[in-house]
Structure formats: structure tokens, C-alpha cells
Structure 1
Amino acid sequence: MTGASTSGTNGAGHVASHRFLIWGGDGWVAGHLKTLLEGQGKEVFTTTIRMENRESVLAELDRIRPTHVLNAAGCTGRPNVDWCEDNKETTIRSNVVGTLNLADCCFLRGIHCTVFATGCIYQYDEAHPIGGPGFRETDPANFAGSFYSMTKAHVEEILKHYANCLILRLRMPVSDDLHPRSFVTKITRYERVVDVPNSNTVLADLLPGAVLLAEHGETGVYNFTNPGAISHNEVLALFRDIVRPGFMWSNFSLEEQAKVLKAGRSNCKLDTTKLVDKLREYGYEVPEVHEAYRRCFERMKAAGIQ
């Protein structure tokens, strides 16, 4: 995609002090960010310029002149990360070359850059067993079972040295609808699911926190999930009890799952102490993941979603 699709809003009716430019403007998370910022009366633009095209990126930054870039672009693969195993050059171009290029261009223009990254760079181990302590931001990545995760882990190590970058690690993001990209939608459609506790990102809870962190000029790495971990079966049981009565599902083991996947899948819990403490400074609370899911499904039920 070489052209840009840009839109600007100013819900407050005056020039906002902060001007946001969302990269990956036609994407799922980008759409949620745009709606959120518009609802807050912020000045927001979106673009679909390819991150790896340096001249185009610089031109877009000079045209829009944002104070903040929110990078929700990148390559996750369709229909899932298995795609990245067969398209490694394209994955590198987006997740490594593009991500670093955009961060660098923002640095040169004095623009704060928030990168929506992934926490799928860890795997439960002896020091972090199921039910034990979560992985902290300072823990080195220990999962390279998929090419996607490997690229994300490597680029983060470089990206965190940029003084203008805020890196937010999402995991298994969930929206208040049944969008195909939402983790809940995915597992309700699988023939069988594994049952492993994981950190999850309920977007309605976390995205307002991303805006707060960006506006306050925070930088560095944050585990960007709801506190705690929840298993697939716990998620689906809440979904059945609140949204879709009578819903049924089947489980299979990690070993059985591995036989049908081209790439491995990360399973882990992230420690959210740093995030929760920082957002609390700004008067924002992030609900624990079980409570977050209950609220999410109650909102879905109220909206008539089944």
C-alpha cells in the first residue's frame, strides 16, 4: 500500500494541544484507538503509509505534524502467525525494518512514538511456572517458537534504546464485540482449544491507559495486559454463562495442538506491577483479568451480541 488514508477530527471544536497520528489506520486496534481519541475530543489522524518507506514516512510526519504517533501497524499473519513462517522476508520488512524506521523518523522529528508490541515472547519455565510469578519487563525473552515472536523480541531489544519510544506489550487482545481478530472470537470458533492460563489484554480497559501514558510522555517497556492470568476454559465458561447460553467446546493438549500448527504458541503470565502503579499515578485503575472479562461480556450482552 503506497497511498495514505488520512482523516482528522477535532471533537472539542478547537485546536488540541496534542495531535495523534495512528499508523496502520485500517487495522483493528487502530480503529479502536481512533474511536477512543475522537470520543475524548482529541485531534486524530490515521495513515496506511508503509512503515518501511522512509521518504514516505518522513513526508507524512511533516504533512500531519503530530505530537504523538501510535504505531498499531505490523505483520501478524493471516489467518494467524503460521503465515509468517512462509513469508519471513515480508514479516521482517514490516515488524523489524518498518517498526525501527518509523521510530527513527519520529525520533528525528521530536515526536513521541507509542509502539503496540507483543508479550508473546515468553513461555512458562522453571522460574515462571503456571500459577507462579509473571515475567517482568526486564526479563529476557525466552520464546522463539514462532518466527513472528522472534522478530518482535529482537526488535524490542533495539527499540527500547530510542528515548522517544513507549513500548506496550499486548497479549491475546479482546474487544467488546465478536470481531474476527478478537481472542474470544477465535477460541469460540476453534474445533478444540488448549486450556492454559495466560495474560490477556481487554482493549476497553487498556487502550485509555495507552493514551494516558503517551500524553504524559512515558517511555520504555510496559507489560500491557490486565493483571493476573485466565485460562481458555475460564474465558469460555464466562462467555457461555453471560453471552451465549448452551455454548460448548472441546479441549486438547499442547502436544496435540503442536501437531496441527506450523509455529509454536506462547503461553505465559506477564507481571503488570509497573503498568498498574504508573497508571494509578494518573488516577486510572486496570481491573483484574477475570473481573475484566466479566465486565466485557456484560457489555456484550447489553449490546445484544451473541
Structure 2
Amino acid sequence: MTKVLIYGGKTGWIGGKMYTLCKEHGIEVYNADSRIENREAVAAELDRIQPSHVLMSAGITGRPNIDWCEDHRPETIRTNVIGTLNVADLCNERGIHCTVYATGCIYTYDAAHPLGSGIGFTEEDKPNFTGSFYSETKSYVEPLLKQYPTCMILRVRMPISDDLSSRSFVTKIAKYEKVVNIPNSMTVLTELLPASLKMAQKGLTGIYNFTNPGVISHNQVLDLYKKYIDPDFQYSNFTIEEQNEILKAPRSNNELDTTKLLRDTEGIEINDILTAMDLCFQRMKKNLEAEGILPDNLPKEFKHKVHGGTGESLKK
């Protein structure tokens, strides 16, 4: 890996982290200026930079969440399908290794993969979740991406960082009034992103379930938040049916099989999700203490408003 070009590095969450990671490893790295929907501009930039590797994390997830995609379907297709294929296709024409940070939110528990069974979806299983248009576009593009011999597709799920980034799964559910309590595969970025860099360096291609092994529930995540970040925090649950009443599109819940990932990343530390999450919250606590946020300056929006509460810290 001699030179890296990142799509989604300027404004994207994962792309920005990968840019920093490349810098820390002394890798020559550039953030792309071209829009992935503009094939000619992407081609010109690839020819100008001449990277050995491309990290593709650009895409539309919607703001504040993927419900945005339900009402903006042409825009979502233009970026998540056409734009992603532009980058993969142009990289393949030039013999450039391309890593696409995709999603594992293309499955839902079913009869062959029951909730709580420990039977995860493999890289070969066909997507079975089309509840949201965002996930639907990802299901369209993945079978096409895997046809490119220079492309590696990493299925990220519910990504989590060591801070209170608005993009982190922890931050999102900590702000909800109620959460569902379903075990899911998740991606702890501190462990998995360095692994993705090493995988790209090795020239791995094809699809990988890019999550920590095992599953963790929403309640388990928030219990760790309460343990390490805010002991006064409270949360409550509701059912999937109740959740769907307030969303434009249902959400994917599943377990992904990580056998292939662990086999091809031997020697790279990837902890099971329960261990990885505990370590993540330990790092988060230290980071927030260093920033002066803990113990007394946690933003008010993280004080859960259970049962009509004010959001203020609870009295002990």
C-alpha cells in the first residue's frame, strides 16, 4: 500500500477515521474531491492521483436517519448504487484495489436464522430484508460489486466509536426515549477499522461480514453506558411493532457469521462483541474525562427523558 485515495473522507465519519488512520501509519493519503456520481470526474481524479488503493466510504444514509431515503429515492440510487459502482468499475479498469465500506443491514432474522440461535447470515446468503429503501439499494449493489476482482466489500453494522459522535450507534440509542431490545451484530470501529487497512494491504477481495463476533442487545449496550458514562441514566423498552409506528421504514435486526473474517484476519485482534463493547466504554470514559465532559458536563440531550422527565440528572 503506497498511496491511498479516500471517497467520503472529507465529510464522512468512517472515511475521516480512515484518513487519520492512514496518516498514523505513515501512508500517503488523499481525500477525494470528485463526487462519486460524476464518472468523468472520478476517472480524472484516479488518473491524477494514481492510488494503489481506494477506500470508498461515501454514500447516503440520510439525516437524521435512513428514513430520509424513503422520500429521496432517486438521490439515494444516484449515490448508493450508481456512484458506488462508478468507483468500483473505474478502479477495476485501472487495476486499483478498492475497499467498499458497505452495510450488513440487508438481513432480518428468519426461520433459518432464528433470533437467539447463534446461526448467523454468511457472506453467501441472499439478502432478505427490504424494509427500508436504504437497505434495498445496498441489496441491489452488493451482488454487482462482488463481480469486480479488485473489490473488497465490508459489511458494517451499527458502528460504534469511543466517543459520543452523533453517528455512533451508542449515541443514537442513548438519545431515544424508548429502545427495542434485540441482539444484533455490531461493529466496534476502534478494532475493525485498523483490520480493514490490513485487509486492504493484503489485497483481500470479495464480501466480508465486518462485525465483531457474536451479538449484543440494545439493553446490554445501554447498561454499559450506565455503568461507565452516566450512572443516573434510565431507559425503557418498546416492541418492534411500537417502534415501526413512529418510523417511516422498519429497521434490520440480524446476526452475521464472522467465520470468514476471522479466518482471513488471523493475527489481527478482533474481540467478541461483549468484550469489545466493554473495552470501548472503558476507552470512552477516559476520553470524555480527558475532554472535561465527565463527570459533570455531559450534554443535556444525553440525559434520558423517561416518562416525561426534564432530562436533568436524577437525584440520588
Matched, 1:142 2:128: yes
Question: What is the letter of the counterpart of residue 20 of structure 2?
Answer: T
* 8 A contact 2:8–2:16 mirrored in 1: no
**Structure 1 match to 2:304:** none
Alignment check: 8 A CA contact 2:105 2:157 kept: yes
For 1:22, the equivalent position in structure 2 comes to: 6
Of 197, 208, 212, the match for 1:211: 197
Matching of residue 275 in structure 1 with residue 275 in structure 2: no
Aligned counterpart in structure 2 of residue 52 of structure 1, from 28, 34, 37: 37
1:231 Cα deviation (Å)?
A: 0.2
1:126 and 1:238 mapped to 2: Cα distance?
31
- Structure 2 CA distance for aligned equivalents of residues 110 and 34 of structure 1: 22
SS of structure 2 residue aligned to 1:33 = helix
Give the match's secondary structure for 1:266: coil
Deviation at 1:142, TM superposition (A): 0.4
Q: Paired residue for 2:218?
A: 232
Unmatched runs of 5 consecutive residues or more in structure 2? 295-316
Of 78, 81, 85, which aligns to 2:66?
81
Deviates more, 1:179-188 or 1:39-48: 39-48
Q: 5 Å matches for 1:14-163?
A: 18-25=2-9, 26-132=11-117, 133-163=119-149
Q: Which of 279, 284, 291 is residue 275 of structure 2 equivalent to? A: 291
Instruction: Name the aligned partner's letter for residue 13 of structure 2.
Output: W
Match of 1:177 among 151, 163, 179: 163
Post-superposition shift, 1:42? 1.0
- For residues 57-95 of structure 1, the C-alpha deviation after alignment (integer angstroms, 9 at most, x for no partner) is 011101111000000100111111100000000000000
- Residue 48 of structure 1 deviates from its aligned partner by 3.9
Q: Match of 2:148, SS?
A: coil
Specify every segment of 5 or more residues in structure 1 that has no aligned partner in the other structure, as ranges: 1-16
Q: What number of residue pairs does the alignment pair up?
A: 288
| 1:226-277 superposed Cα distances (whole Å, 9 cap, x missing partner) | 0000000000001111121121111110000000000110000000010011
Deviation at 1:47, TM superposition (A): 1.5
Per the TM alignment, residue 49 of structure 1 is displaced from its structure 2 partner at its CA by 1.6
CA, structure 1 residues 48+267, in 2 after alignment: closer, same or farther (shift >3 Å)?
farther
State the one-letter code of the partner of 1:291: T
CA deviations on 1:191-216 (whole Å, 9 max, x unpaired) are 11100000000000100110011011
Offset of residue 41 of structure 1: 1.0
Q: TM-score, normalised by structure 1?
A: 0.93
Scaled by the length of structure 2, the TM-score of the pair is: 0.90
The answer as to whether partners of 1:165 and 1:219 remain within 8 angstroms in 2 is yes
Asked if 1:252 is matched to 2:238, the reply is yes
